[in-house]
Amino acid sequence: MGVLDGKVAVVTGGTSGIGARTATLFAAEGARVVIAGRRTEEGEKLAAEFGGTFVRTDVSVEADVEALIAHAVERYGRLDVLVNNAGDPGAGGSVADADLARFEQTFAVHLGGVLTGMKYASRVMLGQESGSIINIASTTARLGGWAGLGYSAAKAAVIQLTRGAAVELGEHGIRVNSISPGPILTGIFAKGAGMDAAEADRTAAAMESAFTAALEIYQPIHRAGTPDDVAQAALWLAGDGSAFVNGHDLAVDGGISAGRPASVALAERAKLAKAFADLRG
């Protein structure tokens, strides 16, 4: 038996990276899965691999999200899990040079898309008096300097939006939680640098060694984070094993949000100790 046997799940941003792995894992664990995204060819191909369906969806367009949820219910008769994962690299730049239109678009995707997904999913789940909504936030919601201002601010808002929805919907049997991934080896970084989306997804794995090396002084677990790390957390939140978990933000970041690796801190202390010793002569 699978963890999600008999459940129906919708995964947005499901054509690559975290979303694609989450959709595939959910299907392997027995769920009937609808994936959503803007790239039709990739979405239809992936859905065909595990017997799911694909709906082209831009989460910043409310009518698209409404149609997505309607498709899931019309096809499968219910909705048990929604994973709000859709996103993009977001607005970059400094405070002084902020592009407000780009900033607003980042919020429309990362925050508005989450709210719209919950709006239409909750209408279905309220009738069932059950459901699990999982919003993908980010460790950058708590740590400055790791992503653009718009992306970080939107992800921080997602965590608070999750809490607000959790205390409202929890009374009706619907759990709402978020996951905050750290740096995960996907194509989003190359996309942010201007690379074609398909090429960025194909070449992400080639960056593993460079990715791991760059994180060595920040991340206690010394390996690159993978989409499967996040998908496994989403599987737990989607299933009955987390039935008493509501309004929680689960960090999946190799310990970055906990602090620097102890070895790094000890090495710095040793350098300071030597400097003091040299000063004393």
Q: Is the pLDDT of residue 180 over 90?
A: yes
Average pLDDT (116-136) is 98
What's residue 276's pLDDT? Answer: 73
Task: Just list the catalytic residues.
Answer: 151
Rounded-to-integer distance, Cα 129 and Cα 108, Å: 29
Average pLDDT (44-63) is 97
Q: Do the domain assignments include residue 89?
A: yes
* Cα radius of gyration (the chain): 20
Question: Could you tell me the pLDDT band of residue 204, with boundaries at 50, 70 and 90?
Answer: low
Q: Do the domain assignments include residue 3?
A: no
Beta strands 81-84 and 53-56 are unpaired
What's residue 195's pLDDT? Answer: 54
What's residue 275's pLDDT? Answer: 78
Q: Do the domain assignments include residue 176?
A: yes
Rounded-to-integer distance, Cα 22 and Cα 33, Å: 10
Rounded-to-integer distance, Cα 26 and Cα 236, Å: 10
Helix or strand holding residue 252 (H, E): strand 249-252
What's residue 111's pLDDT? Answer: 97
Q: Do the domain assignments include residue 44?
A: yes
> What is the biggest distance separating any 2 CA atoms in the chain, rounded to whole angstroms?
79
What's residue 267's pLDDT? Answer: 80
Q: DSSP string spanning 191-217?
A: HHTT--HHHHHHHGGGGHHHHHHHHTT
In the chain, count of helices (H) and strands (E)? Answer: 11, 7
Tokens 């309004």: give the residue.
247
Q: What percent of the chain is modeled with pLDDT above 90?
A: 70
What's residue 92's pLDDT? Answer: 76
Domain coverage including residue 192 = 8-280
Residues 197, 187: contact at Cβ < 8 Å? yes
What's residue 89's pLDDT? Answer: 79
Q: Is the pLDDT of residue 228 over 80?
A: yes
Q: Do the domain assignments include residue 1?
A: no
What's residue 133's pLDDT? Answer: 98
**Domains in the chain, number:** 1
Residues 227, 186: contact at Cβ < 8 Å? yes
Q: Do the domain assignments include residue 264?
A: yes
What's residue 187's pLDDT? Answer: 59
Q: Is the pLDDT of residue 60 over 90?
A: yes
Q: Is the pLDDT of residue 199 over 80?
A: no
Q: DSSP string spanning 115-146?
A: HHHHHHHHHHHHHHT-EEEEEE--GGGTSTTS
What's residue 43's pLDDT? Answer: 96
Tokens 């310990």: give the residue.
255
What's residue 273's pLDDT? Answer: 79
What's residue 191's pLDDT? Answer: 54
Q: What percent of the chain is modeled with pLDDT above 70?
A: 93
- Predicted confidence (pLDDT) per residue in 71-86, tens digit: 999 999 999 999 999 9
Q: DSSP string spanning 213-246?
A: HHHTTT-SS-S-B-HHHHHHHHHHHHSGGGTT--
Quote the mean pLDDT of the chain. Answer: 91
Residues 147-179 as b or e (16 or more Cβ within 10 Å = b) = bbbbbbbbbbbbbebbbebbeebeeeebbbbbb
Average pLDDT (28-37) is 98
Rounded-to-integer distance, Cα 38 and Cα 200, Å: 16
Q: Is the pLDDT of residue 129 over 60?
A: yes
Q: Do the domain assignments include residue 13?
A: yes
DSSP 255: T
Q: Do the domain assignments include residue 116?
A: yes
Residue 229's domain is classified under what CATH number? Answer: 3.40.50.720
Question: Could you tell me the pLDDT band of residue 4, with boundaries at 50, 70 and 90?
Answer: very high
